[in-house]
């Protein structure tokens, strides 16, 4: 038999929400998310560093969220509301997004979509775009179409066996039926192709992911992040100025939850 001594601590943390009300359908909203937490202080690495900075995971995502909010704030106001939310405690089991999704500030029945960013591009622009996992939804088709308009092609999740769909904050929304995806830049880098992108990804997971070494690097090429944000901005703008309601495709495990509230969504 095995026994463990567990010391529990209760910590209060917060989600941070910003809203740009829609001009015509303010009760319908697109929600952008990124988790602001990381691992804090932990076991030291070989250099004795105990600070787990989380620069890529997920300060880069929060930076993306802030820049999207800035862009929408300076653009013509959309017909639907656009909401920006930095969620807490993702690293502890998606707790912040789960709290919002189960006790939402605004009804999920009229939440159009959730667009999540968990780690942004720091290795330069890619020719492709991707998402975490694939649960089958028309929102992904919308993303692919917008990406194509930007000269990018779509690549499915390169590591579906990692279960990434179930490990980031969009999953909390998906469980409640809200069409949701977590966007990623692709591996086919403009400089170096797939081989370079795959090598960079593997090096990050091996040497930096959830380690003190995940910190700011002055050698980052953030032009890829900028290109990706243009796609996310255009996708959100398209959704926020349309009467479209993205949906889960037949056979998706999340479709039944969405269908229960179908009568609450207007299309006129």
> For the whole model, what pTM was predicted?
0.95
pLDDT score for 119: 94
CATH number at residue 110: 3.40.630.10
pLDDT in tens, 103-136: 999 999 999 999 999 999 999 999 999 999 887 8
Asked if residue 36 lies in contact with residue 118, where contact means CB atoms within 8 angstroms, the answer is: no
pLDDT score for 267: 84
pLDDT in tens, 228-260: 999 999 999 999 999 999 999 999 999 999 999
Q: Report yes or no on 264 lying in a domain.
A: no
Which residue is listed with tokens 């802030």? 66
Of 130, 123, 118, which is closest to residue 65 (Cα–Cα)?
118
Residues of the chain with pLDDT under 70: none
Q: Report yes or no on 10 lying in a domain.
A: no
Q: Report yes or no on 5 lying in a domain.
A: no
Which residue is listed with tokens 């787990």? 52
* Exposed e or buried b per residue across 122-142, where buried means at least 16 C-beta atoms within 10 angstroms of its C-beta: bbbbbbbbbbbbebebebbeb
Number of domains in the chain: 1
Domain that holds residue 60: 16-257
pLDDT score for 164: 86
Q: Mapping DSSP to helix (H, G, I), strand (E, B) and coil, where does residue 96 land? A: helix
Q: Mapping DSSP to helix (H, G, I), strand (E, B) and coil, where does residue 145 land? A: helix
Taking CA atoms, 40 is separated from 11, 56, 108, 207, in Å, by 13, 14, 32, 18
Cα 67–chain centre separation: 14
């Amino acid at each position: 038999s095995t026994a463990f001594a567990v010391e529990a601590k209760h910590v209060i943390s917060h989600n941070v929400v910003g809203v740009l009300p829609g001009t015509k359908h303010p009760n319908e909203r697109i929600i952008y998310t990124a988790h602001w937490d990381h691992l804090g202080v932990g076991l030291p690495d070989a250099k004795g560093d105990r600070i787990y900075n989380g620069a890529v995971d997920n300060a880069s995502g929060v930076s993306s969220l802030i820049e999207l909010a800035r862009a929408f704030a300076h653009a013509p106001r959309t017909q639907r509301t656009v909401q920006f939310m930095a969620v807490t405690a993702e690293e502890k089991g998606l707790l912040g997004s789960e709290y919002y999704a189960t006790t939402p500030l605004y009804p999920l029945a009229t939440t159009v979509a959730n667009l999540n960013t968990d780690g942004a591009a720091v290795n330069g622009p890619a020719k492709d775009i991707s998402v975490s996992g694939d649960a089958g939804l028309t929102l992904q088709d919308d993303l692919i179409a917008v990406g194509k308009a930007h000269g990018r092609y779509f690549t499915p999740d390169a590591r579906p066996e990692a279960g990434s769909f179930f490990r980031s904050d969009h999953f909390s929304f998906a469980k409640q039926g809200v069409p949701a995806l977590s966007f990623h830049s692709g591996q086919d880098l403009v400089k170096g192709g797939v081989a370079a992108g795959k090598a960079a990804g593997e090096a990050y997971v091996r040497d930096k992911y959830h380690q003190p070494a995940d910190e700011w690097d002055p050698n980052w090429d953030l032009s890829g992040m900028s290109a990706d944000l243009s796609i996310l901005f255009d996708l959100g703008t398209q959704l926020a100025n349309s009467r479209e309601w993205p949906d889960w495709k037949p056979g998706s495990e999340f479709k039944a939850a969405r269908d229960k509230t179908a009568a609450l969504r207007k299309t006129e």
